[in-house]
Amino acid sequence: MSEMFRATTILGVRSGDRFAIGGDGQVTVGDAVMKNSAVKVRKLEESGILCGFAGSAADAFALFDRFEKRLAEFSGRLPRAAVELAKDWRTDRVLRRLEAMLALMDKEHSLVVSGNGDVLEPDDGICSIGSGGNYARSAARAFLAAGWTDPSEIVRESLSIAADVCIYTNHNIEVLEA
């Protein structure tokens, strides 16, 4: 795993017709914490899509800009826009150097998009990226199995557990819900 991806944890959870995405605020460069309060999740207001990123912030914002253009081009269809973004990311000389991953959610889909050309839709509707992603994903699965139904609460508590375990994740958690 690149140093770039050891800087965050992003988790998206779907429960019923609701979904939420959240991320911690820690930015790490090498073995030093550089910032505790970064915001790595956002809502695309026009489409209702929730997004989160892990990796380089500048790279992620460049990808968000490209993604929003693709989203407009394909009338807000998340899967199609994500696939086209992944194709661009993989084949464009400039884009393929970007080091980030994206988690994208709308009312029907939960996607993870990488620079390797991957567009993954997890079977369970839980998308996680970043260094603490697997810890947060495991906690979210346990909460869902225990009958929890509030996606925001599941995201917040799961990220908190990840922060207790992953040294690259902190307790400064931002959660968005749609």
Q: Which residues are known catalytic residues?
A: 8
Compute CA distances 90 → 72, 95, 104, whole Å: 20, 7, 18
State the Cα–Cα distance between residues 155 and 153, nearest whole angstrom: 5
Q: From 166, 157, 155, select the one nearest 22 (Cα to Cα).
A: 155
Q: From 17, 11, 108, 116, select the one nearest 54 (Cα to Cα).
A: 11
For the chain, report the end-to-end CA distance as a whole number of angstroms: 31
